[in-house]
Structure 1
């Protein structure tokens, strides 16, 4: 697992709240329910944990923890999904204590990184313009990430439901299929990079850097001031790419699942 950025002491909770809110808009769940400040996010057609989890958004909201977890579990079961709890710096420590006491398992730590776009360096790389062809992008993304083609309708619906303006960036080789892809979501003065993927045959050749840089430059020209992204903490290659672009760690999150769930 990647080491924590030693320059990060305690995350800024106002920044965490803002980045969480913008990430919800950038990757929207089909169904969102609130139990106090807990957000229950469910998407029947797509398995992404970010759109199928419970997130606590207020550290002071600690009432009836076990009762609310059980209530959320029933809602997940009605969707045919196993419940997961997403722990961010906004989660009350008391909730995490209950998860530990009840033998839930912690897994999949991710890092949220940010970049002041005023500090985006100048690089001599090929420019790329975004596409609005969702079907083409979805086909490419599923191929690049080696995912089930049956997920196409759900992924297409998820991308269609993104409310802020977004650009779908692709690199393709005629007759040889997609090489790389990324989504750039521009939300007021923030922009997010999502779903970056590079084909195995083109990794380590700078294609991911080039495409990400083009997307960030596109967002900056549209008025974005800060970029953000989420990356798994053990993805060393992606972390190296993002740090080369200038991204730094803002905070981390992880998931919890009940005992007995693989």
Structure 2
């Protein structure tokens, strides 16, 4: 549900928290889910991917709380760039977004329409459940087939996902759970970037949820990351996804910060 600009601004006025941690998690997040086109306007990162509609791959992300100069001009410049890609302009608000920019958006008819939580857990002392282990596959195509089936997404997205996954520079673990008769059950991508490991594209097919498949696959991914030297795991999850939040909490994940999307009302997905 979208919030009004005023409501969003009120929520955004809370403490920014640990900005160095936010900057580091944002940086590894960008590397873990790379956009096809990335340009900078000052400290604003402009991310666009013509082949895939993911909001994280198609948004403007301000990365310096003090960088608000010529905001109206820069927003219009970004809007035209997004228009060339056939995309509505979205702005992703993290604790690094300038307060003045949020005030401008609020006063200009923009609304906040989605909130996600960035969560972390210390892997060095994490006690993982005793479950069946899964070995990561190196077959990107197979992983994508499982993920699209589990998520019930359009198979036509396979080439775009293959391009995105192939562009990831850090070490990747592609985890899948399949049953001989039932078919694909779950999928998870773990991207290890030095001592940080990100869990992405984690999903369990709807009819098999709450039967342990998610726990098994998440456990396998976290064990793999820890064995390979990761000390902290992170992930991003929609704030309304109660089942996922419950699962992550059981593993010890805690919210480091939230981010939000803003758009003009007519462009809200």
Could you tell me the TM-score, scaled by structure 1's length?
0.95
* Alignment match of 1:53 (pick from 29, 38, 59): 59
Correspondence for 1:155: 161
Spell out the pairing of 1:8-157 with structure 2 (5 A cutoff).
10-157=16-163
Correspondence for 1:187: 193
Q: Are the counterparts in 2 of residues 111 and 230 from structure 1 also a CA contact under 8 Å?
A: yes
Provide the rounded CA distance (Å) in 2 between the counterparts of 1:75 and 1:110. 25
Correspondence 1:221 to 2:258: no
Q: Are the counterparts in 2 of residues 168 and 183 from structure 1 also a CA contact under 8 Å?
A: yes
Per-residue CA deviations over 1:181-229 (Å, capped at 9, x if unaligned) read 0000000000000011101121011211110111001000000000000
Correspondence 1:230 to 2:236: yes
Correspondence for 1:4: none
What SS does structure 1 have at the residue aligned with 2:79?
Answer: helix
Cα RMSD over matched residues? 1.3
Q: How many residues align?
A: 256
- Unaligned segments of structure 2, at least 5 residues: 2-13
Q: 1:41: how far off?
A: 0.1
Correspondence for 1:255: 261
Provide the rounded CA distance (Å) in 2 between the counterparts of 1:122 and 1:71. 48
Provide the rounded CA distance (Å) in 2 between the counterparts of 1:78 and 1:10. 34
Correspondence 1:170 to 2:176: yes
Q: 1:88: how far off?
A: 0.2
Provide the rounded CA distance (Å) in 2 between the counterparts of 1:161 and 1:244. 32
Q: 1:107: how far off?
A: 1.0
Q: Are the counterparts in 2 of residues 116 and 227 from structure 1 also a CA contact under 8 Å?
A: yes
Instruction: Give the direction of change, closer, same or farther, for the CA distance of 1:122–1:80 in structure 2 (3 Å limit).
Output: closer
Provide the rounded CA distance (Å) in 2 between the counterparts of 1:90 and 1:115. 22
Correspondence for 1:241: 247
Q: 1:118: how far off?
A: 1.4
Could you tell me the TM-score, scaled by structure 2's length?
0.93
